[in-house]
Structure formats: structure tokens, C-alpha cells
Amino acid sequence: MYNDYAYLLGSKRSCIRELFEYGCRRAAIVGRENIYDYSLGNPSMPAPDAVTETIRDLLQDTDPVALHGYTSAVGDAATRQAIADDLNERYAAGVRPENLFITGGAAPALTAVFRALSVTGAEVLALAPFFPEYRPFAEAAGLGFKVVAPDVPHFQIKLDALEAQLTENTVAIIVNSPNNPSGVVYTRETLTALAALLTKKANEYGHPIYIVSDEPYRELAYGGVEVPFIPTIYADTVVCYSYSKSLSLPGERIGYIYVPENATDSKNLYLAIAGAARAAGHVCAPSLWQKVIGRCTQLRPDLDAYDRNRTRLYNALTEMGYEMAQPDGAFYLFIKAPGGDANAFSERAKALDLLVVPGDDFGCPGYFRICYCVRPEMIEKSLPAFKALIG
């Protein structure tokens, strides 16, 4: 007498989580310093001091009834204005506060958008490699879920494969750039070509094909690479943003949805998203965090430590002969498994206490992911294991 699908989702552990917990058990035996755990995408940098200071200021200068009280379901008005101002300053995007809906992070944003787009027979497409939770989020919303083959070795978008998968039932494609797990940033050229294809097919089908743009890594890009703001390239884009990575607040659950004013059915889609969120138990995003964000929209992460890790690993591993796409963003490397079997590689790595995630769950067998949110000393100590595995 319980829902089978919910039970399945609750009882099936993710491969990443399994690996992480294996690492914890091994650490108890051989010592944490002897485990090279690259499994979890958990920010290793603390939240900026300005965030802590802002909380202290709010506790000091704001009436607690207002500080901890309900905001409207769509979010605090001043915070939405601050987010809009920041986006407009950076991207000249024409964002208005009433186009923004503040959520408890990107995950409930995605599920609300999927439920809002769920009509009979509707399907969404994910571009491999993709964040594994997209599948249960979409399927639980009643959407079909299809995967577009990866564009190896550069991990941009394989447009011909995408076009072959598009049908009249396609209501959205999920885009995630900078990408988890590949670390790749889609170029303006890629996104412009994507927009052209979707516009052509939307006209052909007589209905919009939205891009659902999952952007927790938007601010994590290195070496001055451009991360284009997709709504300025393709209006039928719904942005799902999170401050988890950009402000190192993954547990605090704060982010937003942006439905551009000039998206097809903008106002009604926004209302459907609000209704879907309500049906999932959204009352408002955590109010203290909304007010923190309202004062911190201009903060950017200090990327130096991640960038040093990235460069060190990229250089060392490519020199050893590992192959990977250009990791311009997020905090992942997505590496071709020597021998071609990433599960076998991961098992061999485990035997050396090196934990890497096989790409299968990301829709991309034959590759493995490492997350470089780690201590630099761990990187140095782990390099011999990488060397031994390819030697």
C-alpha cells in the first residue's frame, strides 16, 4: 500500500552516493588522508565572508517577524528586483521581477518546470552527458525522457542526433552549461545553432520547444571563457538557477526560476510553474536566505583554488595520456576510460583507493567523472594511482 515508483526512487541508491559511502568506510580503516575521493560534487570552498556578514547584519537590523516570516510564494519582492538588476547589468536581458520565481534551489525549480510542462504524451530530451536526477524529475512529472547521444570528444551538442530525436511530443530540451559531468561550456556558436534548430522545429510543430536551462554552475567558468546567457539567444528558455555552487551554499536550498517576458505563453507558463510548485508543497523559499541573496546578488565566487586544481589535474592527466574535453567550467573533468570500460576502470581505481564515477549514469559509458573540489594535497598524493592505472 505505497507507491511503487516512489519506493523505487527512495530505495535505489545512486552510484555516486554508493562510492562516497564506500570511501567513508575505507577512510575509517586506512585513514581519510589515504583515500582519493573524487566522487562528490560538493563545493570545498567556504561561502564568502560577505555571506556570513550579511546574515549577522540581518539578525541585527531586521525585525525577526519579517526576517523569518512568509514571503509571497513567488519570493521576496526586493530580492527579485535585485536578481533582475544583476542579470540586466550583466546580460542586458530585460528581466523583470515578475518573471522570477524564487525556489529552494535548482532541483525543485526543475521539478516545478517539468510538471508545468507535463501534458499528455509530452517528452523532454536530455543531452548526454547529463545530471542523472533529470530522469526521475522528468518521469515523476509524467514526461517521457529521451537521451541525445554525446558529441564526443568535445562534448558540445550533436545537432544531427538531437534533430533525429525531436518529435511533435518534444516540449523541452534540458541544457546544462557549464556542464555536470563534462566541465564543458557550450559556446555561443553551439547555442546559436541549437536555437536555430529548435526555432525551425517549433515552427514546424506549431508549438514551442523550451530550453530548460539548469544553471548551478553559471558563475564557475575559468580562463575568461564566455558563458552565454541563453535567454538572450533563444527566448523560449526557462532558467533554473541555484546559489549552491556560486556562493557555496548547497545545503541551504536557494535559487530561482526565470521565465523571460518574451517566451511563448510566458505569463501562463509562469503561473503553471507556480501551481506545480504549490502542489509539491512549496510555500516560499527559505526567507532568511532570500534576504541574504537580496543583498548578495553581486557576489561572485573566488575561483582561484578550483582553477589551480583544475589546471594541475588537467595538465598532469593529459601528460600521462588521459583524454578529456576542455574543462572550462563547473568543477569536473570527464575523462575517457583507458581500455574503454569505465566501470572496470572505476573498480581498478577503487583497489588503489581512488574513487571516480563511471559515466553510465550520466548517459555516457566509457568515460569517468572526477570532481576537483578537493584538497590540493589529495591531488598530489593521488597522481601515482592515476599513473599506475594508465601505465
Residues 181-220 that bind a second copy (CB under 8 A): 207-208
- Tell me if 13 contacts a second copy by CB under 8 A: no
Nearest CA-CA partner of 59 in 228, 225, 288? 288
Handedness of CA 69, 74, 77, 79 (dihedral sign): positive
CB of 33 to a second copy, least distance (A): 17
Contact status, residue 329 vs residue 221, Cβ threshold 8 Å: yes
CB of 76 to a second copy, least distance (A): 9
Instruction: Kindly identify the residues of this chain, within the stretch 137-156, that bind a second copy according to CB under 8 A.
Output: 137, 140
Contact stretch for a second copy (CB under 8 A) within 287-295, 308-316, 349-357, 359-367: 287-295
CB of 342 to a second copy, least distance (A): 25
For a second copy, the binding residue among 192, 203, 262, 268 (CB under 8 A) is: 268
HSE on the CB side for 123, CA within 13 Å? 13
Contact status, residue 155 vs residue 129, Cβ threshold 8 Å: yes
- Tell me if 10 contacts a second copy by CB under 8 A: yes
What residue spans of 146-281 are helical by DSSP H? 159-165, 188-205, 266-279
- Tell me if 271 contacts a second copy by CB under 8 A: yes
Q: Which residues contact 257 (CB under 8 A, 6 or more apart)?
A: 100, 101, 103, 109, 112, 113, 238, 239, 240, 241, 273
Contact status, residue 325 vs residue 184, Cβ threshold 8 Å: yes
- Tell me if 250 contacts a second copy by CB under 8 A: yes
Which one, 156 or 244, has the nearer CB to a second copy?
A: 244
- Tell me if 50 contacts a second copy by CB under 8 A: no
For a second copy, the binding residue among 84, 162, 273, 325 (CB under 8 A) is: 273
Output the CA torsion 283→285→291→293 (10° steps): -160
- Tell me if 281 contacts a second copy by CB under 8 A: yes
Which one, 98 or 341, has the nearer CB to a second copy?
A: 98
